[in-house]
Amino acid sequence: MSTAIESVVDSTAAAVRARALGKRYRAKWALRDCTFELPAGRVAALVGANGAGKTTLMSVLAGLLDADEGSAGAAGRVAFVSQEKPVYRNFSAADMLRLGARLNVVWDEARARRWLARFEIPLDRSCGKLSGGQQAQVAFALAIGSRPDVLMLDEPLANLDPLARREVTAELLGEVDETGMTVLLSTHVVAELSGVADYLLLLAHGRLLAGGDLDELLGRHVSYTGPRSDVPPALGQVVEARHTDRQSTFLVELPEGQPRPVVAGPWVERAPTLEDYVLAQLEATRKGVRA
């Protein structure tokens, strides 16, 4: 957590930033030319297919890996929970909290205990005897208790059951409201992010495909459905085009600074969901790579 490269700044500034960030494993670049600024107090989703570089990016931002080019920094203290949600197997949950209290300069015991109580994790049983989901909750409690300025969670929902997923995201949002921390969470399950994240970082093949405020991003895109056609009914960049025998669907990025076009006739206009948008973007890069 001692990766505070830049000092803590006021809430309007960036909590996490990367400039031309690159990281390679031997000759293969896992991350290339990554530039973004995540404003403080946001809940950002880092989305990408498996192997897109999400874990690498988070590890670099958390200070566990050094970048090969460019720079990265987080304002203040960073807590990172890796994908495996590791815990010391012969430690009890209470021991893990003691570890958090001992190894952090800021520690909020009550908050950590509240998290464990919320998910009914026994404090005295060794973590090795807890289920994978329970171990994940211990790892979350440790991260929450350290009162980070930036909380980074790698695939936080991966080994949780559907109910726990909803509860964890709700609790996380509660913590964000109370503490004002910035959250960066990675996932490849996009559907669970709607209503959670308000910022999007879309990663594909080690490059940042899109990034920005979620409402703004989605607002710039429109989904049109209508009769079979080779072109969409309005001007703009086609992100994705899907055709059946009789029907065509387009996801279009509208040109900036122009009023929203009005389409009529057989075309139906719809605001894309986060999932529509992400899947279309990922699909587009996959086709691009194949070509």
Partner 1 sequence: MTANTTAGTTTAAPVTKRTRVGWGDLVWLTWRQHRWVIIGLVAAVGVVVALALTVAWQVDATGDAQRLFGRWRFISVGSVVLLAPMATGLAIAVFWAAPVLAREYEQRTHLVVWSQDVTPTRWLTGKVVLLGVPAVALAVAVGLASSTMLDSINAASDRPPFPAFEMPAFEAVPLVQAGYAAFGFALGLALGALTRRTVLSMGLALGLFLAARVVVAGVLRPNFQAPLHEVQTYGAFQRSWDGPGDGSWTVNSGFVGPDGREVPFPSTCSTAQDSAAYTKCMEDSNVLFFQDYHPVERLVPFQLVESAIFIVLAAGLLALTFVTVRRARRA
Binding site for partner 1 (CB under 8 A): 1-2, 25, 62, 64-66, 68, 77-82, 84, 86-89, 91, 95, 97-110, 113-114, 117, 139, 142-143, 146-147
Type of residue at 259: P
Backbone angles phi, psi at 112, to 5 degrees: -65, -45
Closest CB 222 distance from partner 1, rounded Å: 42
Residue (82 or 159) nearer to partner 1, CB: 82
Closest CB 249 distance from partner 1, rounded Å: 42
Type of residue at 112: A
Six-digit token pair at 286? 């996959």
In angstroms, how far apart are the furthest CA atoms of the chain?
67
d(C-alpha 221, C-alpha 269), whole Å: 11
Q: Which residues of 189-207 are buried (b: 16+ CB within 10 A; e: fewer)?
A: ebebbeebbbbbbbbbbbb
Residue (91 or 267) nearer to partner 1, CB: 91
Six-digit token pair at 105? 């300069």
Closest CB 78 distance from partner 1, rounded Å: 8
Closest CB 113 distance from partner 1, rounded Å: 6
Closest CB 221 distance from partner 1, rounded Å: 36
d(C-alpha 30, C-alpha 204), whole Å: 10
Residue (109 or 216) nearer to partner 1, CB: 109
| Residues near 143 by beta carbon (within 8 Å), at least 6 away in sequence | 79, 80, 81, 151, 153
Query: What stretches of 147-205 adopt beta strand conformation (E)?
Result: 150-154, 182-187, 199-204
Residue (53 or 232) nearer to partner 1, CB: 53
Closest CB 239 distance from partner 1, rounded Å: 36
Closest CB 38 distance from partner 1, rounded Å: 18
Residue (111 or 284) nearer to partner 1, CB: 111
Residue (118 or 218) nearer to partner 1, CB: 118
- Cβ–Cβ under 8 Å, residues 55 and 206: no
Residue (20 or 64) nearer to partner 1, CB: 64
**DSSP for residue 127:** G
Type of residue at 218: L
